[in-house]
Structure 1
Amino acid sequence: MTEQTTGSEPDRLATVTVLPTARTTDPDADTVVLDSARRVLADAHQGGPAATVVEKVDLDDWDDRPLIPAWTRTAEGWAAWAGRAYRSRRRAARRWLRRQRTDRGHVAQFRRGSRRLHDWVVGLEGVQVQALHHAAQIAAREARTANRTARFTPKVFPVKYKAATTAAVKATAVAEAATAAYRKARMERRRVRQMRAAVVYGPPAAAITAGYATAGGLGAAAGVLATFAGGAFAGRHPVSEERDWSADWRSLGDGDAMSAPMLDQVFRAAKVIGAEETLRVVQMPMLDARGAWSAVLDLPPGIPAKKALRATDELAAAFGVEEAQVSVTKKGRSGRIELYVTRDLPFTEKAGPGPLLAHDGPTNFWGRISIGPDVRGQHVSVSVVERSGLVGGEPGAGKSASGNTILLAAALDPRVILWLADGKGGGDLEPFEALSERFEGLADPEAFNAMLDDLIDDMKRRYATLKKLGKRKVTEALANAHPELRQLLLWVDELMFYTTDEDYGKKITKKLRNLVSRGRAAGIITFCATQKPGSDVVDTSLRDLLSIRWALRCTTPEASDTILGRGAAAAGYSAKSIEAEMRGAGYLWSEGQNPVLVRADYYNDDQVTELLERAHDLRDKAGTLPAGPRTLADRLRDLADDDARLLAVVLDTFAAADRTAQEEAAAAGTSPAMVKAVDWLPGTVLLDALAAAGIPATAERLGALVVRTDEEKAKHGWNGSRVTGYPLARVHAVIADRFGLAV
């Protein structure tokens, strides 16, 4: 044994060269190699240089016994042997199952053997019997003709009469001999067939009968199995005239296995390769655990992969499956493709629970967002940071359920600000309203236009903050340090309703284009969902800016191209190929060169409610819950105006008086619904409230601010006296005229 250590490279193991095992007179010599290797490995594991150890072994004193590692006799060794045996049996079982679909299967062998044995029982004697039968018929016909001629020949012609009589006698003798030979051959054929039948059918009948008599039904089954084995043995080899099964046309739709000859035939039938061209199989066809076939192929030189991508329909027809079951993608280079054919129509089984249900804590909207599984069952995720998206498809394709994957991920991140607009007005986004800073759920283009104005103002404030901080764009660390720069998700459902409005459609399109193009760096993410985002619905200048495209089921290839981009359907990525049963499935084009067929993670209404309750708790703990509808008094305080603050205190005084009246009514047992709201208060009460709030105000200032009519200045009863005061309606009117705010 020799050892070479690498002391200068402590992180690498020393090179150990083991010569054939020797045996010395020293009882410990057998462990020299093992102990030396242990020391080298131990030194290398500790990170220090391995010590050089040189052991001298007498290579002549050696026997020829094989070296069997000791670990093979341990529990792990036996488990390894058992695992190997199990895998071998499993592979043998798979080969046996694949074999059964061919003419070398046991059923085919038994059928072929039964036919061969029956043919042997029948034998070739039937041909001889038929020949003798035919000869006897001819001889009998000739004998009848000769006898008829002899009977009608007159005796006055003795020569002719004698010749006819002689011919009739000879013909009769020949006919009798032929008939006797035929009868003898027929009896011999029957005897031979009976003997052969006894040889062929006797043992099976005896085995079944004896088995039944000995062990009943189990014995009869054993006899049938023995009969089957004998028949299969007789037909174990096909005759040379039978064609090889691999040369016949095979179809995946009929349950046949994918093979190299099948692939050549399919690609030739689809006109992807020529009649004399063949594919080069890089990865042989394999069947995965989901029952789908996959293979990696090299097309002949000069044929690009996009030709195969465009021929998905033809390939599916040649395979005998639906178009949606065939997936062709480029693999590394232009002429190499990966073929994936599912056993059943994908995405028709019941969807499993979404990954967010098993996620206890908050999500990270700055990271990757789970979208759903692809046709191979692998989960697809995308990053929406500095991105924008477009989701489209026909009605009922699953846009709302698909949008939930992104909306729920955003809701479960308490740092994300939600601005939602529901152009459908159908309530799909209503569960998210409680978590939204701004929500437009009435399908009102005017309100949505105002929302966009506020969002553009917010974008300007964000850029002003970035400019002060000396940063170009919002990052996760920057947003965590400055809450005003938190990510903001604008989700617009049924965009078509807003952009096609006669009064606000063009304005909305222009503002959305501004947000999509400039808002990315400011942390504003925009997603739009619509049925068909054509140029008449979404201006191309806006649509082309939406970088993430998700095309759900469409009615035409042109509709699919309006989502994925021109030429996608011609390249083999058409949402029209998505079947109606594949609800929630669509082509997602977000990262990489080609779209991917994905089915969105599905969450039912109860699961959405559960996740939103969790999101509410997370935002409550983080202090990022929306403030909710703001009162008119709060909005007045935001104006930073002295008169506005005075009027805000007046409104608070009316609200406090109304609450007091409600509490007194409840204490007296009166229904709160029967209590009239406080709509008038004396001026002294308002002045006292202003003084308590620290706002200096006099009766003249209050009267000059809230100008009343003579009728409104009339005195009312208050605590046993009549005093002047201010009606709440007049205060609201002053606020609307002065500041443009309504209740």
Structure 2
Amino acid sequence: MTEQPTTPNPDRTDLATITYVHGAGPATDSSPADAAPALGGKTEATDRAAVVESARRVLEGTVTPAPAELEKPTDLDLDAFDDRPLIPAWAKTPEGWAMYSGVLYRSRLRAYRRWVRRQRTDRGHAAQFKRGSRRVQDWVTGFEGIQTQALAHQAYVAAKEARGAAKTARFTPALMKNKKEVALREADRTQTVAMQAVAAHKKAKSYRRKLRALRAGAAYGPPLAAITGGYVEAGAFGASAGLLATFSGGAFAGRHLVTEETDWSADWRSLGDGDPMSAPMLDEVFRHAKVIGSDESLHMVQMPMLDARGAWSAVIDLPPGIPARKAMRAISEIASALGVDDAQVNMVKTKGKGARSGRLEIYVAKQLPFTEKADPGPLLALEAATNFWGRIAVGPDVRGLPISISVVERSGLVGGEPGAGKSASGNVILLAAALDPRVILWLADGKAGGDLEPFAELCEYFEGDADPEAFYEMLKAAVADMKARYALLKKLGKRKVTEELANKYPLLRQKLLWVDELMFYTTDDEFGKKITKLLRNLVSRGRAAGIVTFCATQKPGSDVVDTSLRDLLSIRWALRCTTPEASDTILGKGAAAAGYSAKTIEPEMRGAGLLWAEGSNPTLVRADYYSDDEVELLCKRAYDLRDAAGTLPDGPKTLADQLREKGEADADVLAVLVDVFNAYDQAAKEDDAAGEVDWLPGSVLVDALKAAGIEITPEKLGRLVVREAEEKKKRAWADSTSALNGFPLAALLRTVQSKYGLTA
């Protein structure tokens, strides 16, 4: 057993911990042992001998330890502390202070080594200062240069057009008065546009200079003032202090890394991750899409710009030898590299002046287009009548710009899967035609679902029961009307119907033939081929006669619509399709391979489709949407307009009225003869219900014609109404004492049929 006092004081009797040596046990000798002297004090030789003897006894196990009585304090408060800090006493010794100094030295040394290693990375102070300087310079430069560059390009193009127009006006001979006036007006217009563009460019340059000067003063003024002031006050030492302060400020500005400053190839990010579109990004995108080679790059015609809708757009030139259609075929790969959906990427070839085979305009929407709520259609705000001879607004494109088409001398095909929005798309054209009181409506609903019912009161001919036979009769009447139109045009010496002719001659009013669900009619076993033949005749020949034909169906394959008919429909509107092949049946073979496939239209994009009406490329357009209540409201407005204009359909017309609509002298003669026969026939039926009149004397007919203001001789009447030999026999008439020459009703009807294709 050993005792060790915590202090050199020999009077302290607190014992240290008792430890038994391995192998020793409790002693059996109960004799009291001499107490060992306290260690650490001054002892004599005898005292050392006593200590040695006590240690020997402990090792031999002959010492019995006295029981230690430990008193447990009852008033101990663990939360009570004195005023001394919680630092052990040895920490305040020289050894403790030395240890603290060593720890501090080693930590500072390690920190210095880390700082030295960091200077070679992008987090070093030099790199931070470089990054901060670049950010400050970017802030000083601002974004006004993009607008100035665009205005400069516009001014250049406008000035070039103005020079060309001025040259044309100068060298146009004065003898060509009309062309000279047109050229002078065009020169004035282009000169005005050029001057406005140049003025806008100068204004943008001045605005850019002012903003840059202000930002440059705010960014570079304080550092220059610090360096100059330091040099004036303290010479080189002050200048050095100013430079150090400038360096510190630049390093502080560039202390944080930003993702757009990282290398795209090393840290791949995309437009879908929120990164801004840039020229290096587009280069990498087109390389990953295998459109350009790894050592090729794009030429930026218009730098990437962000519009108010949050979408990015740019105009690029592909490397020489790479056509635009190669990139358009790889739209899925480009969308994947950009990190967006296929439907968000829209690429079209540029149009107008400066267009090239390898020049593309790329537009990337911020989110899936055409999924937001559609704006009210423009026809709702229109108070006057529409003009079906002009352009028809169909809806916005992906950029939000309104798209309009002209249907004059055109025909169209609208197709897509069920629920894609064919009815809504058709309403755009039908409502525009209905609100023009001059347009004649002939509608056929192969679905018999009631989509066309609101237009029934406005139609001259309406087939809403999905009856192929009734539709066949409608087409026969349409072909007969087309022949009558061409007969009148031939008489007038005109080649085709114009708006002036249509306003002057009611027979030549524009006619819209709309066929919904064409598949039901063309696949009928009995009338399918006949309907296809008449439609082909009407589409191929009717456009110059003022007849506009539109067909709507789900999938216009060759088994539904014969290719000889489908290829004649010039306006194509492909709504969402399930396969690229189905899209090609609407847009034409090879459209999907060229990058125009309605398969990429998502189901959420209701009413959106690829419209190929004008130009060389289809355009993604969403039709203006009109609810059922709005359609009924517009149809009521169209009814009022037609009622005021006197163009409401009158129902079935008599044979005489149909003849008068031809606008010919012979037709007017025949119309009077038909009326005379009807009058005598009605008089005969009043006397006898079974009575009828099938023959009238020529003198009676000539007198009726003179009463109607038509002077005609019997000989001319005989040449007009050709009779057979038996029909020339004389007959008795009323109180006449002798037989008279006359004309049978059969000869009159035969003449009407052969000359105008009309039947009673």
Give yes or no for TM over 0.5.
yes
The alpha-carbon deviation at position 356 of structure 1 amounts to 0.8
Q: What secondary structure does 2:361 align onto? A: strand
Give the distance between the partners of 1:242 and 1:469, measured in 2 at CA.
74
In the alignment, which of 290, 300, 307 is matched to residue 288 of structure 1?
307
Partner residue in 2 for 1:413? 436
For residues 396 and 275 of structure 1, what CA distance do their matches in structure 2 show?
44
Q: 1:314 corresponds to which residue?
A: 333
Q: Deviations over 1:80-118 (max 9, x none)?
A: xxxxxxxxxxxxxxxxxxxxxxxxxxxxxxxxxxxxxxx
Counterparts in 2 of 1:472 and 1:586: CA distance versus 1, 3 Å: same
Alignment counterpart, residue 237 of structure 1, candidates 246, 254, 262: 254
Partner residue, 2:464: 441
SS at match of 2:358: strand
Deviations 1:118-152 (A, max 9, x none): xxxxxxxxxxxxxxxxxxxxxxxxxxxxxxxxxxx
Q: Kindly indicate whether residue 294 of structure 2 is the aligned counterpart of residue 275 of structure 1.
A: yes
* Cα distance change of structure 1 residues 546 and 290 upon mapping to structure 2, 3 Å threshold: same
Deviation at 1:295, TM superposition (A): 0.5
1:154-169 superposed matches below 5 A? none
Aligned residue number for residue 380 of structure 1: 403
Task: Decide whether the 8 Å contact of 1:549 with 1:590 is kept in 2.
Answer: yes
SS at match of 1:256: coil
Shift of 1:509: 0.1
Q: Please give the alpha-carbon distance, in whole angstroms, between the structure 1 residues aligned to 2:276 and 2:258.
A: 24
**Alignment-derived partner of residue 516 in structure 1:** 539
Among residues 383, 386, 389, which one is paired with 1:360 in the alignment? 383
| Residue 299 of structure 1: aligned partner | 318
Instruction: Specify the SS of the correspondent of 1:349.
Output: coil
Alignment match, 2:279: 260
Alignment partner, residue 483 of structure 1: 506
Q: Of 620, 628, 647, which residue of structure 2 is paired with 1:597?
A: 620
Query: Are residue 640 (structure 1) and residue 674 (structure 2) matched?
Result: yes
Counterpart AA for 1:425: A
- Residue 580 of structure 1: which of 603, 606, 613 is its match? 603
Partner of 1:550: 573
CA distance in 1, matches of 2:658, 2:254: 93
State the SS of the aligned residue for 1:484. Answer: helix
AA of the residue aligned to 2:508: L
Q: Is the 8 A contact 1:249 1:262 kept in 2?
A: no
- Give the match's secondary structure for 1:551: strand
Q: How many Å separate the matches in 2 of 1:350 and 1:524?
A: 35
CA gap of 1:705–1:376, structure 2 versus 1, over 3 A, is same
Q: Corresponding residue for 1:534?
A: 557
2:260–2:275 CA contact under 8 A, matched in 1 = no
| Alignment partner of 1:330 out of 349, 352, 355 | 349
In structure 2, distance between residues paired with 1:242 and 1:356:
48
- Relative distance call for 1:243 and 1:596 in structure 2 (3 A) is closer
Work out which of the two has the higher radius of gyration on C-alpha atoms and give 1 or 2. Answer: 2
8 Å contact kept, 2:684–2:692: no
Measure the CA separation in 1 of the matches of 2:382 and 2:270. 43
| CA–CA distance in structure 2, aligned partners of residues 181 and 264 of structure 1 | 66
**Contact in 2 for aligned 1:246/1:261 (Cα 8 Å):** no
Shift of 1:628: 3.4
Secondary structure of 1:527's match? strand
Map Cα deviations across residues 357-412 of structure 1 (whole Å, 9 max, x no partner).
11110000000000110011111111000000000000000000000000000000
Secondary structure of the structure 2 residue equivalent to 1:333: coil
CA contact (8 A) 2:685 2:691 kept: no
Q: Residue 245 of structure 1 aligns to which amino acid in structure 2?
A: T
Aligned equivalents of 1:241, 1:621: Cα separation in 2: 68
Shift of 1:245: 2.0
Q: Is the 8 A contact 2:684 2:691 kept in 1?
A: no
Post-superposition offset of 1:238: 4.8
Question: 2:493 matched to 1:470?
Answer: yes
Q: For 2:672 and 2:599, locate their aligned partners in 1 and report how far apart those are by CA, in whole Å.
A: 52
Q: CA 1:192–1:596 in structure 2 vs 1: closer, same or farther (change >3 Å)?
A: same
CA separation in 2, counterparts of 1:545 and 1:235? 69
Question: Quick one: structure 1 residues 186 and 556, their matched pair in 2 at CA, closer, same or farther if it must change by over 3 Å?
Answer: farther
Unaligned runs of 5+ in 1: 1-179, 198-230, 650-694, 707-737
Taking the TM superposition and a 5 Å limit, the aligned residue runs for 1:23-102 are none
Q: 1:264 to 1:384 in 2, by over 3 A?
A: same
Alignment partners' CA distance in 2, 1:241 and 1:598? 38
The answer to whether the 8 Å contact 1:357/1:611 transfers is yes
Deviations 1:419-458 (A, max 9, x none): 0000000000010000000000000000000000111111
Alpha-carbon distance in structure 2 between the residues aligned to 1:505 and 1:301: 51
* Counterpart code for 2:637: R
SS at match of 1:317: helix
> Are the structure 2 counterparts of residues 645 and 293 from structure 1 closer, same or farther at C-alpha, using a change threshold of 3 Å?
same
CA distance in 2 between counterparts of 1:319 and 1:590 reads 30
Q: Secondary structure at the match of 1:291?
A: coil
Contact 1:423–1:492 (CA<8 Å) still a contact in 2? yes
| Cα drift, residue 631 of structure 1 | 10
The offset of 1:641, in angstroms, is 6.5
Where 1:442 maps in the other structure, the secondary structure is coil
Aligned to 1:189: 103
Q: 1:429 to 1:193 in 2, by over 3 A?
A: same
Q: Compute the displacement of 1:182 (Å).
A: 11
Question: Match of 1:104?
Answer: none
What displacement does 1:467 show?
0.8
Match of 2:77 in 1: none
Matches within 5 A, 1:689-700: 695=683, 699=687
Distance 1:514 1:334 in 2: 37
Mapped partners of 1:232, 1:392: distance in 2: 64
The code of the aligned residue for 2:611 comes to: L
Contact 1:328 1:337 in 2 (8 A): yes
**1:302 Cα deviation (Å)?**
1.1
Q: Secondary structure at the match of 1:555?
A: coil
For 2:477 and 2:259, the matched residues in 1 are separated by: 80
Match of 2:234 in 1: none
Question: Aligned to 1:500, which of 515, 518, 523?
Answer: 523
> Aligned residue for 1:710?
none
Percent of pairs identical after alignment?
A: 70
Alpha carbons of structure 1 residues 631 and 482: separation in structure 2 relative to 1, 3 Å: closer
> When the two structures are superposed, what TM-score results if normalisation uses the length of structure 1?
0.57
8 Å CA contact 2:443, 2:514 repeated in 1? yes
How far is 1:234 from its partner?
Answer: 7.1
Provide the C-alpha distance between the structure 1 equivalents of 2:490 and 2:655, rounded to a whole number of angstroms.
34
Gaps of 5+ in 2: 1-93, 112-247, 660-670, 694-748, 751-760
**What is aligned with 2:158?**
none
Aligned position for 1:127: none
Output the CA distance in 2 between the equivalents of 1:242 and 1:568: 39
Q: Distance in 2 between matches of 1:488 and 1:254?
A: 52
Distance of 2:379 and 2:414 partners within structure 1: 21
Report what 1:714 is aligned to: none
Residue of structure 2 in register with 1:66 after alignment? none
What is the alpha-carbon distance in structure 1 between the residues aligned to residue 97 and residue 430 of structure 2?
A: 94
| Local SS of the residue matching 1:285 | strand
Q: How many angstroms apart in 2 are the aligned matches of 1:312 and 1:243?
A: 24
